[in-house]
Structure 1
Amino acid sequence: MKIVFYGVHSYDIEFFTRANKNFGFECVFQRAHLNIHTTALAQGAEIVCLFVNDFADRKVIEEFSRIGVKLIALRCAGFNNVDLNAAAQYGIKVVRVPAYSPYAVAEHACALILTLNRKIHRAYLRTKDGNFSLHGLMGFDMHGKTAGIIGTGKVAKKLIKILQGFDIDVLAYDLYPDLEYAKNNHFRYTDLNEIFEKSDIISLHCPLTEDTTYIINESSIAKMKPGVMLINTGRGKLIDSEALIEGLKQHKIGAAGLDVYEEEANYFYDDNSDNIIDDDKLARLLSFNNVVITSHQAFFTHEAVSNIAERTLENVKEFIEGKPLSCEVKNI
């Protein structure tokens, strides 16, 4: 069975080739991202494998249906880049990897928090130049602070435990709160207004939906404590970048750690060091010394990428064998 992979990098080839020894599929690795102009690369394949910056909108789905694609296997947890309505209409199944390593993403979120708090990024650059001044490097004790966690899936629950190790008080928000887990692990669910008003650190771990798009916006930022730290390891469009820039300029937001960006597809996962970044919002964010942007790498550990490869190919195997798809994404 032939699988066409879009948006492939060297590590994808390495980990999927290794995992495929247990499955024996024909894997065709394409460097190009998926869009309406690259659908032809899937000619002759019933299965395509996509990552976060491969976009299967209605036009792509229609073309996939025409050339015989029957399964979209996402090698990620998020599925906002696939038009599920169109996929259901044309009978194309969609599967994903809902859990690969909650530790990886939670630990990266914590790394962003510690980096921003103790100005590690600034100190590193200074000392490389022989500058050992402490000016501008003062942080705060994590002990006794309040963290607001928006979305309490597996990643968030791991982060909550990490933060509690610093004696941080945790407030959480979720449309479907796990009240029993909160009781057993000594944190409290509340509404978004209290999260915004009381949190010293806010970390986003909710999926991107119509309801959560720009959940961080001008209005929500106005409710936040002065100097709040904002962390996003979820999806870029959870934050309105223009509102974030204004919040930073007005010193309402004291620091921001972003592993994702709303228009990242044109930049992330590629070397753009020889090019001028012509996205004015991204360029502005990169100019702030209290903003750390990483390249959507929170998932990027050996364990996580190995699990992604194994689960993705297992999803394909279930489809080929006609078994129930344990990781199917269905349109609601």
Structure 2
Amino acid sequence: MNTSSTDKAQPECCNQQQRNVAFFSTRSYERILFSELIKKLNVANDSSINATFFEHPLNASTAASCHGYTDVVVFVNDDINAATIKVLKRCGVRHVALRCAGFNNVNVNAAAKAGITVSRVPAYSPQTVAEHTLALILTLNRKTHKAYNRVREGNFDLGGLMGFTLHGKTVGVIGTGKIGQAVIRILLGFGCHVLCFDPLPDNNVTAMGGHYVTLDELLEKSVIVTLHCPLNEQSHHIINAESIDKMPQGVMLINTSRGGLVDDNAVIKGLKTKKIGYLGLDVYERESELFFDDHSQEIIQDDIFQRLITFPNVVITGHQGFFTIEALEEIAKTTLDNILTGENTL
């Protein structure tokens, strides 16, 4: 089954009070969560949200299925470009609701011209992604993933498992929004010296003990660099051959934001020269072809991804940094609130 629905028949019309909503790129856990919350909202608020859930992504090819829907709900790898917007407009869609914080996959200018509002979930338990960031840092440093496998095989040799003490180390945080600040708090709790870079500095960061510096200074002095900025024209491939060259030998690089922040080819070269001593990724620039699906019985065709996972000092998770019950509940609540208001929240 490619779809499941609280309203089996696809709607052919709608009115201002009723919201006929098409959810794309959904998984079973999302369908259960959203369906339960929709039932509660419809009773509590006397609202009428009719939901249809699709497993396939929304793009220019699949947008024709949106006829009769007032709203579409999309995720990080759906492609809402100008062509998709054009079809959505023709189908009568009035609102695109992202159930995520980033909106780099939406052509907001095309949506505005089409009269389609766009909303997102700017803050959903930022501690969730921050904690996953630290999980990657600690796993890479103390090599707990390797130790786990060794002990299961009866191998208690400590050779190759040596890490370093995080306390007292200088960590660079690029992007000091809500998630970046949550990461900073945790790092300060570990006793780290935290350098920060953001085009829009926040007084809260300096108040808690972070230090704003130039991007070059951050790259030159940080033994760990972690990314927490949105993907846009200015930040695309902010980690590239030139920026990697400025980093200390053996630097740890962490990305839990968006894959496009990192030039994969430059990172591979950095790993081969040992300039990058550790790499932790929860996102990948071409993840739309891989993440959120089971490819274990297939031959993965992405040669760059396959090269990355051959390195023993690389840990990759499949965009699960957001994946806690608290975060999912907040995402669902905010997304449905955005649908009921129909407002542009970008």
Pairing 1:250–2:273 present: yes
| TM-score, normalisation: structure 2 | 0.92
Equivalent residue for 2:39, pick from 21, 25, 41: 21
State percent identity of aligned pairs.
Answer: 51
Deviation, structure 1 residue 58: 0.8
* Residue pair 2:176, 2:205 contacting (<8 A) in 1 also: no
- Kindly provide the CA deviation profile for residues 297-324 of structure 1, in whole angstroms up to 9, marking residues without a partner as x: 10000000000000000001112xxxxx
Pairing 1:120–2:147 present: no
Pairing 1:298–2:316 present: no
After TM superposition, what 4+ stretches of structure 1 lie above 3 angstroms from structure 2? none
Equivalent residue for 1:223, pick from 229, 236, 246: 246
Aligned length: 322
Pairing 1:268–2:291 present: yes
* Residue pair 1:95, 1:315 contacting (<8 A) in 2 also: yes
Within 1, Cα distance between the matches of 2:324 and 2:57? 22
- Kindly provide the CA deviation profile for residues 267-300 of structure 1, in whole angstroms up to 9, marking residues without a partner as x: 0000000011110110011111111000101000
Pairing 1:55–2:66 present: no
Deviation, structure 1 residue 128: 1.9
* Residue pair 2:206, 2:212 contacting (<8 A) in 1 also: no
Which amino acid is the alignment partner of residue 254 of structure 1?
A: G
Q: Which residue of 2 aligns with 1:318?
A: 341
* Residue pair 1:7, 1:32 contacting (<8 A) in 2 also: yes
Equivalent residue for 2:119, pick from 74, 86, 95: 95
Which amino acid is the alignment partner of residue 208 of structure 2?
A: N
Within 2, Cα distance between the matches of 1:27 and 1:182? 41
> Any idea what SS the aligned residue of 1:159 has?
helix
Pairing 1:104–2:128 present: yes
Q: Which residue of 2 aligns with 1:241?
A: 264
* Residue pair 2:188, 2:209 contacting (<8 A) in 1 also: no
Q: Which residue of 2 aligns with 1:136?
A: 160
Alignment RMSD (CA, Å):
0.9
Which amino acid is the alignment partner of residue 19 of structure 1?
A: L
Q: Which runs of 5+ in 2 are unaligned?
A: 1-18, 43-48
Q: Which residue of 2 aligns with 1:43?
A: 67
Deviation, structure 1 residue 23: 2.4
Within 2, Cα distance between the matches of 1:134 and 1:27? 53
Deviation, structure 1 residue 210: 0.1
Deviation, structure 1 residue 88: 1.0
Pairing 1:9–2:27 present: yes
Within 1, Cα distance between the matches of 2:282 and 2:271? 17
If asked which structure has higher relative contact order (CA below 8 Å, sep 6+), I would say: 1
Within 1, Cα distance between the matches of 2:322 and 2:218? 26
| TM-score, normalisation: structure 1 | 0.95
Q: Which residue of 2 aligns with 1:65?
A: 89
> Any idea what SS the aligned residue of 2:40 has?
coil
Within 1, Cα distance between the matches of 2:123 and 2:137? 23
Within 1, Cα distance between the matches of 2:199 and 2:55? 38
Equivalent residue for 1:277, pick from 279, 300, 303: 300
> Any idea what SS the aligned residue of 2:32 has?
helix
* Residue pair 2:259, 2:284 contacting (<8 A) in 1 also: yes
Which amino acid is the alignment partner of residue 225 of structure 1?
A: P
* Residue pair 2:22, 2:51 contacting (<8 A) in 1 also: yes
Which amino acid is the alignment partner of residue 331 of structure 2?
A: I
Deviation, structure 1 residue 9: 0.1
* Residue pair 1:122, 1:289 contacting (<8 A) in 2 also: no
Deviation, structure 1 residue 182: 3.0
